[in-house]
Amino acid sequence: MKVSEISNKEIADYLRLEIDDLTENEKTTITNLLDIAKSFIKSYTGLSDIDTHEDFVIVVYILVEDMYDNRTLYVDKNNLNKVVETVLGMHSTNLL
């Protein structure tokens, strides 16, 4: 699976939500969190094509779950999940 293939339904399933029971606002939130997670991965690693690394799929799920559960508007780089940090670090080109 590639990051670009992750659907809102798959994210909702991962969050243990029934997509058909969500309001339009909640569906929009899931869409936004998915986009934010993808942008964060690109920014963190410096990679523009994140589909080349299948291990980023789980990173997207973890980031979306964390942001959804905590309803934060940002990902705090200082409190980043260790699994996420390790996987992203393996592919990071931003080593400054």
Check residues 15 and 72 and name the one with the higher pLDDT: 15
Cβ atoms of residues 93 and 46 within 8 Å: yes
Asked if residue 74 is part of any domain, the answer here is yes
- 50-92 pLDDT, tens per residue? 999 999 999 999 999 988 887 655 556 677 777 777 777 777 7
pLDDT at site 43: 87
Predicted TM-score (pTM) of this structure: 0.76
Question: Residue 54 belongs to what domain range?
Answer: 3-91
Asked if residue 78 is part of any domain, the answer here is yes
pLDDT at site 75: 55
Outline where the chain has alpha helix (H): 8-14, 24-45, 56-70, 82-91
CA–CA separation, 95 and 88 (whole Å): 12
Q: What percent of the chain has pLDDT over 70?
A: 89
How many structural domains comprise the chain?
1
Asked if residue 86 is part of any domain, the answer here is yes
